[in-house]
Amino acid sequence: MKQSLRWIILSGTIFFLVKALHDHWLEVTSTHIDPVGWSILVIALGITLLAHIWAGWIWTWVLRDLNQTVDTAKFIQVYLKTNIAKYIPGNVWHFYGRIMAAKNAHIPNEIAILSVLLEPLLMAIAALIFIVLLGNLFLVNQINIFLQFFQFISLLSLFLALHPLSLNPLIRLLHKLKNSKSSSRTPSITYLKIEHYPIRPLLGELGFLGLRAVGFILTIFALNSVSFSQVPLLLGAFSFAWLLGLVVPIAPGGLGIFEATTLAILQYHFPSALIISAIALYRLVSILAETAGAGLGWLDEKLAQMR
């Protein structure tokens, strides 16, 4: 049933995108990018690449919060090289590559796994923070007192969920389950816990998502002018679509999910042809940035070996 549901959702997503493209094909093909627009797209590519480098740096912050000593440059290289693997079916191979690289750097297996699990969790919470703050711009027509109270409670709950008092009991429970299934009788690792609130990694992920959103907004700006008043709407819609692409496990790298969600939200605020062209270009920009990041990570590693 789970596999069938995944195929149903994926088929519905593809049908929605194909129908939207069919309905606005003439408008999409008439889209023109002038030399200034191409320059803006190059800037969007550079900012998106910077976002991935920044995300790799945040991963080292998470490991340091878990009392590990890491080589920042080396782990950013690992992050960039493994990031492209998320497009392999299964959507877990980039996590596997990072876990193996951390183990090879003499980081305990449990801590390596925990760091890799915390990173997307922090990303998801960062996206939720933007959605809670800006969701009223695209989810409802006008905000009321009840919605303001709900947003405040949701935001407070997100911050409390990251507190060590909330996370450490869950980590201990997972440890007990692991040990109960293991034939080994060695005691649980006592240092596998979060000692400080991960405020710095969380702020870093807010910056990561902000950079990704800037790349998306610049992609739209390369095709059509965007007013400053539209930026919060685009930031909130991007965060919502990006989060669904992260958590819905039906396509590698969120392919299709991000595009369909973005189109469904923004088609009421912008011309559909503009949004279709922008999301297609942004997917290209994202893949090029991730490929360039992997290439730069590999090249930097080879140059370090030569030195």
Tens of pLDDT along the chain (307 residues) come to 555 555 565 565 566 556 655 555 555 566 678 888 889 999 999 999 999 999 999 999 998 888 888 888 899 999 998 888 887 766 778 888 899 888 888 888 878 888 888 888 899 889 888 888 887 666 554 445 565 666 677 778 777 877 888 777 877 776 676 666 555 554 444 446 777 788 899 999 999 999 999 999 999 998 888 888 899 999 989 998 898 888 776 655 566 788 888 888 888 888 888 888 888 888 888 888 988 988 888 888 788 777 7
Q: Could you give the number of structural domains in the chain?
A: 1
Specify whether the CB–CB gap between 235 and 130 falls below 8 A. yes
Residue 153 lies in a domain: yes
Q: What is the pTM of this model?
A: 0.81
Asked if residue 84 is part of any domain, the answer here is: yes
Residue 242 in domain: yes
Provide the residue range defining the domain that includes 79.
Answer: 34-162+197-306
Phi-psi region at 90: left, alpha or beta (left = phi > 0; alpha = psi -120 to 50): left
- Domain membership of residue 237 (yes or no) is yes
Amino acid at 112: A
End-to-end CA distance of the chain: 54
Q: Where are the alpha helices (DSSP H) in 66-108?
A: 72-83, 93-104
Under DSSP, the state recorded for 229 is G
The pLDDT value given to residue 174? 61
d(CA 232, CA 138): 10
Residue 273 lies in a domain: yes
Confirm whether 133 is domain-assigned: yes
Predicted pLDDT of residue 247: 79
- Residue 1 falls inside a structural domain: no
Angle between helices 231-247 and 109-134 (to 10 degrees): 140
In the prediction, which pLDDT does 53 show? 95
- Residue 52 CB-half CA count within 13 A: 27
Q: Report d(CA 146, CA 191) in Å as an integer.
A: 42
Q: Are 258 and 280 in contact (CB under 8 A)?
A: no
Distances (CA, A) of 237 to 141, 206, 252, 270: 14, 15, 21, 12
Give residue 190's pLDDT: 46
Is 83:94 a contact under the CB 8 Å cutoff?
yes
Please report whether residue 293 resides in a domain: yes
Name the CA radius of gyration of the chain, rounded.
21
pLDDT attached to residue 49: 95
For 55, residues 6+ apart whose C-beta sits below 8 A from its C-beta are 79, 119, 123, 205, 208
